[in-house]
Structure 1
Amino acid sequence: MEATDLRRIPSSDPLRAYRYRDGLYAADLVTAALVHLDFFTWLAANPSDLAAICRHFGFAGRPADVMMTLFCANGFVTREGDVFHLSDSGRDFLLASSPWSLAPYYRSLKDRPVTKDYLKVLSTGKPANWGGYDESADWHRAMEDEAFARQFTAAMDCRGVLMGPAMAQALDLSRFSRLLDIGGGSGIYACSLVANHPKLSATVFDQFSVEKIARTRIAELGYADRVDVRAGDMLKEELPGGYDLHLYSNVLHDWDLPEVRQLLAASFRALAPGGMLLIHDAFIDADKCGPLPVAEYSALLMHSTQGKCYSTAEYEVLATEAGFRGFSFRTTAADRGVMTAGKP
């Protein structure tokens, strides 16, 4: 197998391969709404804001928000201010009374396990189990198991071999010296940053089940002299000090608003004055009407984690609340981007 070079990115386009995986569950969410709930027929007669939709169907706010973002991104619904309306294509193809209704076409798939999962997630707001791992364990509890943690971390490391260098090469970090990679998993993103920014050293901060995995992978990549690992619980203890860069790479999207607020506030407290926050993730547009591939990926996250893909506007509001200023955003690779903000 060819050695991993974190200063190189492939010349071919990875989007099709990534989008099949990231959008895997979106069709099940459409099926749940169309077949089990007849949601689009109701919306045609009752244009509503998100709160009214939640009241009528008994939905929790987070999954309902993800669902409506997906439907807007597909053009099934439109939004006027805060009010959602069924679009012309929605009336043609998703309305029960339409001669072109596709509900019977979708109905043969109504008993797919993930479709049924969405009915529970929409009503409870709680994630379903991750990919059939164990019916009693959502993703966060499953990560406490070493075998699952190893499997999941390897999957995210595979993705990071592309996304890490693309992120690193999009940033000018010449004035920074010490990075804390919070929830850094295998260390692939920390290694990517130090590989492309020679003045940087880094610490991966993640839970105990990942510590050994991260140390092994960092050594394999050849960065054990510049990237170390510290085990801890980012939601139960203060973040370590002495760093002028904080990175959340594909981390905040696993959590609901209270945890995201908590983590950003913890970063602001711990980060050195003049330091920078990096959020590397898949971002919903500020108007929450796209992009479609990210809206589809958000459906997967909503199903299996406590989070979703947040919009650029939501992150700016949350980071501003924590005290950060001076935001910028740029796209990187595979429908991802990186947002930066500074601590005055």
Structure 2
Amino acid sequence: MYESAIQPPVVDPTPIFELFRGSYGSELLTAAVAHFDLFGCLSERPMTLEELGDQLGLQPRPANVLVTALRAMDLLQQRDGKLCLTALASEHLVPGSRLDCGDYLSLAAQSPGVMSMVDLLKSNKPLGAEGDSGTAFIYRDGAKSAMDAEASARHFTLALAGRAKNVAPALAEVLPIGDAETLLDLGGGTGIYSYALLQKNPQLAAVVFDRPDVLKVAQEFAETYGVTDRVELHPGNMFADPLPQNVDAVLLSNILHDWDVPECKQLIRRCVEALKPGGRLFIHDVFLNDSLDGPLPIALYSAALFSLTEGRAYSEAEYRSWMTEAGLASKAKVPTLVHCGVIEGVVK
């Protein structure tokens, strides 16, 4: 008897993920107070994100992650394109002010988590990076990566299955696959999202494209869900190797948030090139507000992504702009589960 990939959870697991990621809020806030004097800087004058990043010695990606979290905490706000303090931060986080709480927060300034976050913010490199080209939980050609070693790739891939098993039924329920017959799941990992779509849509066949050691796990799940006769496991480098062509649909599920903006645009372009006329690209991911001021759970998840990958969380507006640039007409986001949603783009 095969397992179901489309049976949804009885209880929404979202609070568990929010609690798990909560520590990033403490680390970012303490780093801002005790290591970067961010609130002292902004108490002197409002600044643009670029100006503040320069003042703090932060590159655009870490500056974005830090400021987005602080805005989501209602400690920073934006007026006329410049960042300034909220009333909460003005009264309680400006050094030397009568009711300053900064010294209390600084009690954690030397804790391992905070020190690690400070190093990540300053270096703009993920945990496990070696030199200028190392990576931790993503694969980059020519760099040592946990995703290209069998034991670590297996461990991380199985860990991600804990979320995928819960979210895949919701994705299969709302994804408008229609009469599509071929799906390319780029960076598909365990394949669970594809396998849910296969169980939901009997006419569909899927290609799961990922690293060879990751696909060993995908093969096991294909057997568990009884879809081995409708799935092809395709090993390769999604940035460099040829992709299957003339497919009806491409799925990027929780992939783009691993990469910086140039790589995101490159992947979207490659997906469009793989689609047949009228084909569809589905971006399934988490989404920041278009104003980049929350929601707080996504801002903290963005910090987690920043720590482990070369990416961060992006807004719906950012994704839509890249889709438009690649020649896609995008449709409204549809929510799935655990803060995720899916945007459909159609080849014009």
Q: Which amino acid aligns with 1:64?
A: A
Whether 2:21 is the aligned partner of 1:22: answer yes
The whole-number CA distance in structure 1 between the counterparts of 2:89 and 2:341 is 31
Aligned residue number for residue 155 of structure 2 = 151
Which piece of structure 1 moves more, 144-153 or 208-217?
Answer: 208-217
Task: Render the CA deviation track for 1:7-54: whole Å, top value 9, x for unaligned.
Answer: 211232322112112333232111111111121111121210111012
Once the two structures are superposed, the pairs formed by residues 185-196 of structure 1 within 5 Å of their partners are 185-196=189-200
Aligned residue number for residue 204 of structure 2 = 200
- Is 2:324–2:330's contact at 8 Å kept on the other side of the alignment? no
Aligned residue number for residue 265 of structure 2 = 261
The whole-number CA distance in structure 2 between the counterparts of 1:203 and 1:56 is 47
Structure 1 gaps of 5+ residues are: 131-135
* Cα deviation, residue 137, structure 1: 5.4
Whether 2:287 is the aligned partner of 1:288: answer no
Task: Render the CA deviation track for 1:130-165: whole Å, top value 9, x for unaligned.
Answer: 9xxxxx752221211111110100011111011111
Aligned residue number for residue 181 of structure 1 = 185
The whole-number CA distance in structure 2 between the counterparts of 1:272 and 1:252 is 22
Which piece of structure 1 moves more, 308-317 or 197-206?
Answer: 197-206
Whether 2:76 is the aligned partner of 1:72: answer no
The whole-number CA distance in structure 1 between the counterparts of 2:217 and 2:181 is 25
Whether 2:342 is the aligned partner of 1:338: answer yes
Task: Render the CA deviation track for 1:237-276: whole Å, top value 9, x for unaligned.
Answer: 2321131110111110000011101100101111111111
* Cα deviation, residue 171, structure 1: 1.9
* Cα deviation, residue 201, structure 1: 1.2
* TM-align CA RMSD: 1.7
Which piece of structure 1 moves more, 228-237 or 115-124?
Answer: 115-124
Candidates 229, 240, 254, aligned match of 2:233: 229
Candidates 217, 220, 231, aligned match of 1:216: 220
Which piece of structure 1 moves more, 112-121 or 211-220?
Answer: 112-121
* Cα deviation, residue 3, structure 1: 6.9
The whole-number CA distance in structure 2 between the counterparts of 1:183 and 1:220 is 20
Once the two structures are superposed, the pairs formed by residues 29-40 of structure 1 within 5 Å of their partners are 29-40=28-39
The whole-number CA distance in structure 2 between the counterparts of 1:291 and 1:95 is 24
Q: Which amino acid aligns with 1:280?
A: H
The whole-number CA distance in structure 1 between the counterparts of 2:335 and 2:55 is 38
Aligned residue number for residue 93 of structure 2 = 94
The whole-number CA distance in structure 2 between the counterparts of 1:208 and 1:242 is 23
* Cα deviation, residue 119, structure 1: 2.1
- Is 1:328–1:341's contact at 8 Å kept on the other side of the alignment? no
Candidates 110, 125, 138, aligned match of 2:136: 138
* Cα deviation, residue 320, structure 1: 1.1
- Going from structure 1 to structure 2, the CA distance change for 1:305 and 1:225 (only over 3 Å counts) comes to same
- Is 1:204–1:227's contact at 8 Å kept on the other side of the alignment? yes
Which piece of structure 1 moves more, 119-128 or 147-156?
Answer: 119-128
Whether 2:169 is the aligned partner of 1:170: answer no
Aligned residue number for residue 243 of structure 2 = 239
The whole-number CA distance in structure 1 between the counterparts of 2:199 and 2:160 is 19
Candidates 243, 249, 253, aligned match of 1:249: 253
Structure 1's consecutive aligned runs of 4 or more residues displaced over 4 angstroms after TM superposition are: none
SS in 2 for 1:328: coil
Structure 2 gaps of 5+ residues are: 139-144
The whole-number CA distance in structure 1 between the counterparts of 2:59 and 2:24 is 19
Whether 2:17 is the aligned partner of 1:13: answer no
Candidates 262, 266, 279, aligned match of 2:283: 279
Which piece of structure 1 moves more, 201-210 or 117-126?
Answer: 117-126
Identity %, equivalent residues: 35
The whole-number CA distance in structure 2 between the counterparts of 1:315 and 1:108 is 39
The whole-number CA distance in structure 1 between the counterparts of 2:3 and 2:97 is 54
